[in-house]
Amino acid sequence: MENVTVYLDTCIISGIAEMDLPDNDIDALINIFEQSKKGKIKIATSLISKEEIGKIPIKYRKKHELIYYLLTDLTYFNYLKPIMNYGSTIIGCGVGVGFSSHLKRKVDPILNKLKLLLPDKNDALHIFQAAKNKIQYFLTVDRKTILRFENQIEEICKIKVIRPQEFNTTFLATQK
């Protein structure tokens, strides 16, 4: 079996916390977590999810935080900065060395394309982080701002945007 990694969007974490995902997605997630425990796939999320959860009103936030922290025991993730520096070398606290008196900063072109495509900045950041960490599948139930752009996202950054149930039937079913 190939080394497969799936990234869980914040809406998956919230859906688990609120138990408001469709039964077929819940069943698929149970199977995905089981396969993760067996070492057949890796599950990832990011600090962006933690930041989004932090914006939930405190009286509703605890369940979401609990699920996030339980999931971080299963996950690995390298947070990558979306800003690239050109024209000089960065040392320590942003001090530049080079011929230029100032740093030229440019947002990663993949993130730029995602930001132009997706209506939500955090969705673009999620997908950017997943793509830059070479994660193959981005699991979400967000039809309005992510799933409707699945083909364009795959063209931009070679990551497959997919619902948990579809991942379960298309990938995991073929691996048994």
Contact between 32 and 172 under an 8 Å Cβ cutoff? The reply is yes
Residue 95 lies in a domain: no
What per-residue confidence (pLDDT) applies to 119? 92
What per-residue confidence (pLDDT) applies to 101? 47
The pLDDT tens digits for 54-68 are: 999 999 999 999 998
42 DSSP β-pair partners: 5
Alpha-carbon distance 84 to 40, whole Å? Answer: 34
Alpha-carbon distance 81 to 129, whole Å? Answer: 9
Residue 99 lies in a domain: no
Angle of helix 121-132 relative to helix 109-117, nearest 10 degrees, comes to: 140
Q: Write out the residue range of the structural domain in which residue 140 sits.
A: 4-80+110-175
Alpha-carbon distance 71 to 68, whole Å? Answer: 5
Residue 100 lies in a domain: no
CATH number at residue 29: 3.40.50.1010
What per-residue confidence (pLDDT) applies to 95? 41
The predicted model gives 4-31 an average pLDDT of: 94
Residue 98 lies in a domain: no
Q: How many domains does the chain have?
A: 1
